[in-house]
Structure 1
Amino acid sequence: MSNPLLSLLNIELPIIQSPMVGVSTPRLAAAVSNAGGLGSIGIGASSVEQARDMLRATAALTDKPFNVNLFCHRPAVHDPVRESQWLDVLAPFFSEFDAPPPTALREIYTSFVEDPDMLHMLLEEKPAVVSFHFGLPPQPAIDALKDAGIVLL
Structure 2
Amino acid sequence: MSLTQRLGIELPILQAPMAGVQGSALAVAVSEGGGLGALPCAMLSPKVMSDELERIRAQTSRPLNVNFFCHLPVEPDPASDARWHQALAPYYEEMGLDIDSVPAGPGRRPFDDQACNVLETFRPEVVSFHFGLPSPVLLERVKAWGATVLSSATTVEEALWLEANGADAVIVQGLEAGGHRGMFLTEDLTTQVGTLALLPQVKAAVTVPVIAAGGIADARGVAAALALGADAVQVGTAFLCCPEATTSSLHRQALQSDAARHTALTNLYSGRPARGIVTRLMRELGPISPLAPAFPLATSAIGPLRSAAEALGSGDFSPLWAGQNASGCREVPAAELLQELASEIS
Q: Following the alignment from structure 1 to structure 2, what is the Cα–Cα distance between the partners of residues 132 and 10? A: 19
Report how far residue 104 of structure 1 moved.
Answer: 6.1
Aligned residues with identical type, % of pairs: 38
Q: CA deviation at 1:74?
A: 2.4
1:14-25 matched pairs, under 5 angstroms: 14-25=12-23
Which residue of the partner structure matches residue 75 of structure 1?
A: 73
Cα deviation, residue 106, structure 1:
3.4
Q: CA deviation at 1:131?
A: 0.6
Instruction: Choose 97-106 or 84-93, whichever is displaced more.
Output: 97-106
Q: Is the alpha carbon distance of 1:104 and 1:22 closer, same or farther for their aligned partners in structure 2, counting shifts above 3 Å? A: closer
CA distance in 1 between counterparts of 2:148 and 2:66 reads: 10
Deviation at 1:103, TM superposition (A): 4.4
Residue 49 of structure 2 corresponds to: 51
Of 102, 121, 130, which residue of structure 2 is paired with 1:133?
130
Change in 2 beyond 3 A, CA 1:98/1:47: same
Cα–Cα, structure 1 residues 84 and 126, in superposed 2: closer, same or farther, change >3 Å? same
Inter-CA distance 26–138: structure 2 relative to 1 (3 Å threshold)? same
Tell me if 1:149 matches 2:146: yes
Say if 1:83 and 1:104, in contact at 8 Å, map to a contact too.
no
Q: Quote the offset at 1:25 in angstroms.
A: 2.4
Shift of 1:40: 0.8
In 2, the alpha carbon distance for the partners of 1:105 and 1:92 equals 20
Match of 2:64 in 1: 66
**4+ runs deviating over 4 angstroms:** none
Q: Distance in 1 between matches of 2:142 and 2:2?
A: 20
Q: Distance in 1 between matches of 2:12 and 2:102?
A: 47
SS at match of 2:106: coil
Q: Which residue of 2 aligns with 1:30?
A: 28
| Separation of aligned partners in 2, 1:105 and 1:124 | 31
* Match of residue 38 from structure 2: 40
Shift of 1:134: 2.6
Segment drifting more, 47-56 vs 21-30:
21-30
Say how many residue pairs are matched: 149
Three-state SS of the structure 1 residue aligned to 2:57 is: helix
* Preserved contact between residue 31 and residue 39 of structure 1 (Cα < 8 Å): yes
Structure 1: segments with no counterpart, 5+ residues = none
Partner secondary structure for residue 84 of structure 1: helix
Under a length normalisation based on structure 1, what TM-score does the superposition of the two structures give?
0.89
Q: TM-score, normalised by structure 2?
A: 0.41
What's the C-alpha RMSD, in Å, of the aligned pairs?
Answer: 1.6
